[in-house]
Amino acid sequence: MSESPPTETLVIERGYDAPATAVFDAFTHEDVMRRWWHARPDWTTPEASVDLRVGGAVRVVMRDTDGDSHGGGGHYTVVDRPHRLAFTWTWDRDDEDRETLIEIAFVESGGATTVTFTHSSLRDEATARDHEEGWNRCFDNLERTLAEGRA
């Protein structure tokens, strides 16, 4: 019997001064996703597509300042607005062909929302650190988008 390769799990908790429905919708509405879902402030997100149902597809393509695209996608495994969202994720790049799982919990209290974001089955610790840096930058963008009332 062969052993499964080791994997890493990344957990990030962030608070947003917005109701859970607004934060959930920011993860699932294409026009809002294009405003915040990029790993650097000077990148863009020219493509975001959502088929918001279990089994439906999600896809995001970010573009860096050199014009290179960084895209990926997967399929929803949980859609429970505004409490939980989960989807598989695979990067387009050949060196990142591993399917991972992204699970997001939204807990509202007093009009603010705590998001617990879990990205599991990452290749190794270095990959988890890279993803942590990128996701935190995305979440900084999300915070600005929500604060501007654009979500």
pLDDT at 8: 95
Residue 94 — pLDDT band, cuts 50, 70, 90?
Answer: low
Position 79 pLDDT exceeds 80: yes
Query: Residue 48 to residues 40, 122, 126, 129: CA-CA distances in angstroms?
Result: 16, 22, 27, 24
Residue 96 confidence (pLDDT) above 70: no
pTM (two decimals): 0.92
Residue 130: its pLDDT value, please? 93
Average the pLDDT over 88-96 and give the result: 83
pLDDT at 5 exceeding the cut of 70: no
